[in-house]
């Protein structure tokens, strides 16, 4: 990690405190610290299972048991995971009024566990499971997870169809309201923290460009290169180190 005068954690914290509208954009890297595997990293899910098939809407329609069997080990055990220092510090920054919104590509609910209230989930969420046929049928994550862990499937009480999580699958449109809200926040931001994402998945990867176009600044913390590294005012590669130091600087 570079330690020039302008690239210290102290300078990062000053930028966050002085920002008029600071927004965070997070990816899988913030949750690997909590023991949740990412998709494309060295130990990612793609290395030992067909993740695209797991999250393919057409395949789900044909055989939902495949999704639940495969996702049991990494979606339906997230209630056992604890938020990392990144999640808790972001929650503290929001509570202190420095962070106005948090946009996440993650589907693990750990930002909420970490204390963040204004969370925009651009890839959907497993918090709710719903029936693709019967309007209004909803099941919360806790109930669905208990069924999946017991080897059962969450089913609609009206038609018996297997419920689908409100995660955006391949072949589905992203949640319109979440994308709209995320775009508006990126446009308003004079500072965006890009954390644990290599900015390869669109449209989330395009959000920092709205901040740049409106004169805002980017700070990137990621252990892999991104397409916007040269446009960031600060860049760090170790999330845990950065947020441990930030935690020590937080106001009591």
> What does the domain layout of the chain look like in residue ranges?
1-36+83-123+175-252, 40-80+124-167
Percentages (nearest 5) of helix, strand, coil residues in the chain: 40, 20, 40
Query: In whole angstroms, how large is the CA radius of gyration of the chain?
Result: 19
CB 148 within 8 A of CB 68: yes
Q: In the annotation, is 123 catalytic?
A: yes
Secondary structure of 206-221 as H, E, C letters: HHHHHHHHCCCEEEEE
Task: Name the active-site residue from 87, 111, 123, 235.
Answer: 123
pLDDT at 111: 97
Structure tokens at 218: 């980017």
Mean pLDDT by 10 residues, the chain (252 residues): 62 96 96 76 52 87 94 87 96 97 95 97 96 94 96 96 95 93 98 95 92 98 94 95 94 69
User: 3-class DSSP state for residue 112?
Assistant: helix
CA–CA separation, 25 and 197 (whole Å): 8
**Placement of tokens 């600060």 in the chain:** 234
Burial of 69 (0-12, 13-18, 19+ CB in 10 A): middle
User: 3-class DSSP state for residue 164?
Assistant: strand
Does this model's pTM top 0.85?
A: yes
Residues 6+ apart with CB under 8 A from 116: 87, 90, 91, 94, 99, 102
CA–CA separation, 62 and 235 (whole Å): 45
The architecture in CATH of the region 40-80+124-167 reads: 2-Layer Sandwich (3.30)
Q: What are the tens digits of pLDDT across the range 123-136?
A: 999 999 999 999 99
pLDDT at 2: 42
Tell me the sheet residues that pair with 99: 22
The architecture in CATH of the region 1-36+83-123+175-252 reads: 3-Layer(aba) Sandwich (3.40)
């Amino acid at each position: 990690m570079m330690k020039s005068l302008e690239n210290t954690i102290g300078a990062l914290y000053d930028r966050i405190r002085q920002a008029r509208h600071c927004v965070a954009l997070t990816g899988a890297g913030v949750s690997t610290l909590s023991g949740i595997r990412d998709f494309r990293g060295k130990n990612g899910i793609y290395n030992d299972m067909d993740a695209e098939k797991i999250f393919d809407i057409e395949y789900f329609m044909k055989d939902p048991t495949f999704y639940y069997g495969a996702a049991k080990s990494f979606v339906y055990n997230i209630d056992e995971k604890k938020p990392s220092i990144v999640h808790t510090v972001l929650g503290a920054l929001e509570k202190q009024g420095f962070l106005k919104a948090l946009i996440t590509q993650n589907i693990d609910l750990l930002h909420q566990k970490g204390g963040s209230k204004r969370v925009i989930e651009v890839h959907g969420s497993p918090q709710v499971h719903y029936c693709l046929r019967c309007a209004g049928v909803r099941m919360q994550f806790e109930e669905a997870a208990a069924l999946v862990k017991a080897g059962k499937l969450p089913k609609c009480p009206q038609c018996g169809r297997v419920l689908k999580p409100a995660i955006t699958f391949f072949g589905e449109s992203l949640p319109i309201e979440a994308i709209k809200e995320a775009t508006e926040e990126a446009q308003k931001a004079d500072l965006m923290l890009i954390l644990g994402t290599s900015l390869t998945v669109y449209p989330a990867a395009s959000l920092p460009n709205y901040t740049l176009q409106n004169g805002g600044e980017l700070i990137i913390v990621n252990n892999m290169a991104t397409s916007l590294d040269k446009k960031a005012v600060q860049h760090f590669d170790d999330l845990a180190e950065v947020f441990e130091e930030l935690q020590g600087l937080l106001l009591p």
